[in-house]
Amino acid sequence: MSSKNPNPIDVHVGNRVRMRRMLIGMSQERLGKELGLTFQQIQKYEKGTNRISASRLYRMAQILGVPVQYFFEDLPASVTSEAEQGMAEARNHTMIMDFLGSSEGLQLNRHFAAIKDANVRRAVVDLVRSLARAEEEA
């Protein structure tokens, strides 16, 4: 058995499954139960090590309350075309997806989305931007 790297599209789709599942507060065990699978199988899907079939992806979309195309949104250019992409951009996309899939990223997104006032949201973005700049300069 050869140890192949997972397909980048499978990894992306798995990240989107994990992000949505965590965003709505669903456990891997519950999603697995809804699909008739073990939580270990859900883990493999989320890591991209196992490919999700079309019918299973369709069912996941129903359970998670999103359209199927949600799982393919924001695919990096390196996956969707043959065009050359800079390494920094690819690393940045991976870093963002890792953050969004983390507990802190999900909490930040959940609470940020609850802010109704656009001016307050802009102020939060400005605050985070200035903190990041200060961190870079330190």
Domain-located, residue 132 = no
Whole-model pTM: value is 0.65
Instruction: Out of 62-66, 89-93, 127-131, give the one with best mean pLDDT.
Output: 62-66
Would 34 be classed as within a structural domain? yes
* Cα–Cα distance, 75 to 9 (Å, whole number): 8
CB 8 within 8 A of CB 94: no
CATH number at residue 38: 1.10.260.40
Question: Could you report the per-residue pLDDT of 49-59, keeping only the tens digit for each?
Answer: 999 999 999 99
What is the per-residue pLDDT for 103?
Answer: 79
Residue 54 sits in which domain range?
A: 1-84
Q: What per-residue confidence (pLDDT) applies to 92?
A: 61
Is residue 13, in this structure, part of any structural domain at all?
yes
* Number of structural domains in the chain: 1
CB 41 within 8 A of CB 62: no
In a domain, 130, yes or no: no
